[in-house]
Amino acid sequence: MADTAQFALGFCERNGISRPNALRLRLIIEELFTNTIRHGHRAECDTPVRIELAVIEGYPTLTYEDSAPPYDPLTRLSALGSAEVTTLGAPPADGLGIFLIGNLAYGAHHAYEDGRNRLWLVMRT
Protein backbone atom coordinates (compact mmCIF):
# COMPACT_ATOMS: atom_id res chain seq x y z
CA MET A 1 0.00 0.00 0.00
CA ALA A 2 2.86 2.40 0.75
CA ASP A 3 4.28 1.92 -2.77
CA THR A 4 0.87 2.65 -4.26
CA ALA A 5 0.52 5.83 -2.22
CA GLN A 6 3.99 6.99 -3.32
CA PHE A 7 3.14 6.17 -6.94
CA ALA A 8 -0.03 8.30 -6.79
CA LEU A 9 1.59 11.20 -4.93
CA GLY A 10 4.62 11.18 -7.25
CA PHE A 11 2.36 11.24 -10.30
CA CYS A 12 0.45 14.21 -8.91
CA GLU A 13 3.62 16.08 -8.05
CA ARG A 14 5.07 15.55 -11.55
CA ASN A 15 1.82 16.74 -13.14
CA GLY A 16 1.19 19.83 -11.02
CA ILE A 17 -1.85 18.39 -9.24
CA SER A 18 -2.45 20.15 -5.93
CA ARG A 19 -1.67 18.39 -2.67
CA PRO A 20 -5.35 18.24 -1.58
CA ASN A 21 -6.33 16.64 -4.91
CA ALA A 22 -3.36 14.26 -4.69
CA LEU A 23 -4.50 13.14 -1.24
CA ARG A 24 -8.05 12.63 -2.52
CA LEU A 25 -6.76 10.50 -5.38
CA ARG A 26 -4.63 8.46 -2.99
CA LEU A 27 -7.61 7.95 -0.69
CA ILE A 28 -9.76 6.63 -3.55
CA ILE A 29 -7.00 4.24 -4.66
CA GLU A 30 -6.53 2.96 -1.11
CA GLU A 31 -10.28 2.45 -0.68
CA LEU A 32 -10.60 0.60 -4.01
CA PHE A 33 -7.62 -1.61 -3.14
CA THR A 34 -8.99 -2.38 0.32
CA ASN A 35 -12.37 -3.28 -1.18
CA THR A 36 -10.72 -5.57 -3.74
CA ILE A 37 -9.09 -7.53 -0.92
CA ARG A 38 -11.91 -7.40 1.65
CA HIS A 39 -14.98 -7.80 -0.55
CA GLY A 40 -13.69 -9.01 -3.90
CA HIS A 41 -11.22 -11.74 -3.01
CA ARG A 42 -12.35 -11.95 0.65
CA ALA A 43 -8.71 -12.35 1.76
CA GLU A 44 -5.22 -11.22 0.86
CA CYS A 45 -3.90 -12.79 -2.31
CA ASP A 46 -1.13 -12.44 -4.87
CA THR A 47 -3.46 -11.45 -7.71
CA PRO A 48 -2.19 -8.18 -9.18
CA VAL A 49 -4.16 -4.95 -9.31
CA ARG A 50 -3.46 -2.56 -12.18
CA ILE A 51 -3.53 1.19 -11.54
CA GLU A 52 -3.03 3.68 -14.35
CA LEU A 53 -2.96 7.42 -13.85
CA ALA A 54 -3.11 10.11 -16.53
CA VAL A 55 -4.06 13.74 -17.00
CA ILE A 56 -6.67 14.17 -19.72
CA GLU A 57 -7.86 17.66 -20.63
CA GLY A 58 -6.46 18.95 -17.36
CA TYR A 59 -8.20 16.39 -15.14
CA PRO A 60 -6.46 13.59 -13.26
CA THR A 61 -7.85 10.24 -14.37
CA LEU A 62 -7.61 6.83 -12.77
CA THR A 63 -8.02 3.41 -14.31
CA TYR A 64 -8.31 0.71 -11.64
CA GLU A 65 -8.42 -2.95 -12.62
CA ASP A 66 -8.72 -6.14 -10.58
CA SER A 67 -9.61 -9.78 -11.13
CA ALA A 68 -12.12 -10.07 -8.30
CA PRO A 69 -15.61 -11.37 -9.11
CA PRO A 70 -17.71 -8.95 -11.19
CA TYR A 71 -18.81 -5.92 -9.21
CA ASP A 72 -19.85 -2.52 -10.50
CA PRO A 73 -19.59 -0.01 -7.63
CA LEU A 74 -21.41 2.58 -9.71
CA THR A 75 -24.69 0.68 -9.46
CA ARG A 76 -24.76 1.49 -5.74
CA LEU A 77 -23.90 5.12 -6.35
CA SER A 78 -27.44 6.10 -7.32
CA ALA A 79 -28.83 4.03 -4.44
CA LEU A 80 -26.64 5.87 -1.93
CA GLY A 81 -29.10 8.55 -0.99
CA SER A 82 -28.87 11.41 1.42
CA ALA A 83 -30.70 9.28 3.98
CA GLU A 84 -27.46 7.32 4.40
CA VAL A 85 -25.47 10.43 5.28
CA THR A 86 -25.73 11.51 8.89
CA THR A 87 -26.57 15.00 10.04
CA LEU A 88 -22.86 15.54 10.69
CA GLY A 89 -22.18 14.96 7.00
CA ALA A 90 -20.29 11.74 7.61
CA PRO A 91 -20.36 9.02 4.98
CA PRO A 92 -22.07 5.72 5.72
CA ALA A 93 -19.98 3.10 7.52
CA ASP A 94 -20.57 0.65 4.68
CA GLY A 95 -20.02 1.98 1.19
CA LEU A 96 -17.27 4.52 1.85
CA GLY A 97 -15.69 3.81 -1.53
CA ILE A 98 -18.98 4.54 -3.28
CA PHE A 99 -19.37 7.72 -1.24
CA LEU A 100 -15.85 8.84 -2.22
CA ILE A 101 -16.40 8.14 -5.91
CA GLY A 102 -19.67 10.05 -5.86
CA ASN A 103 -18.15 13.07 -4.16
CA LEU A 104 -14.64 13.18 -5.60
CA ALA A 105 -15.09 11.94 -9.17
CA TYR A 106 -16.35 14.09 -12.02
CA GLY A 107 -17.12 11.11 -14.21
CA ALA A 108 -16.97 7.34 -13.86
CA HIS A 109 -17.43 4.20 -15.93
CA HIS A 110 -17.20 0.50 -15.05
CA ALA A 111 -16.92 -2.59 -17.22
CA TYR A 112 -16.25 -6.24 -16.56
CA GLU A 113 -14.11 -7.50 -19.44
CA ASP A 114 -11.82 -10.49 -19.89
CA GLY A 115 -12.34 -11.60 -16.28
CA ARG A 116 -11.43 -8.19 -14.86
CA ASN A 117 -13.29 -5.29 -13.26
CA ARG A 118 -12.23 -2.04 -14.90
CA LEU A 119 -13.15 1.26 -13.32
CA TRP A 120 -12.35 4.59 -14.98
CA LEU A 121 -12.62 7.79 -12.94
CA VAL A 122 -12.12 11.44 -13.82
CA MET A 123 -11.33 13.37 -10.66
CA ARG A 124 -12.81 16.71 -9.65
CA THR A 125 -10.20 19.43 -9.20
Share of the chain above pLDDT 70, in %: 83
List of long-range contacts for 18-25, beta carbons under 8 Å, 24+ apart = 18/125, 21/60, 21/123, 21/125, 24/100, 24/104, 24/123, 25/53, 25/60, 25/62, 25/123
Which residue type does 102 have? Answer: G
In the chain, the domains with their CATH numbers are: 2-123 (3.30.565.10)
- Phi and psi, residue 85, nearest 5°: -105, 130
Span 43-99, pLDDT tens digits: 777 888 999 999 999 999 999 999 999 988 888 766 655 444 444 455 555 666 677
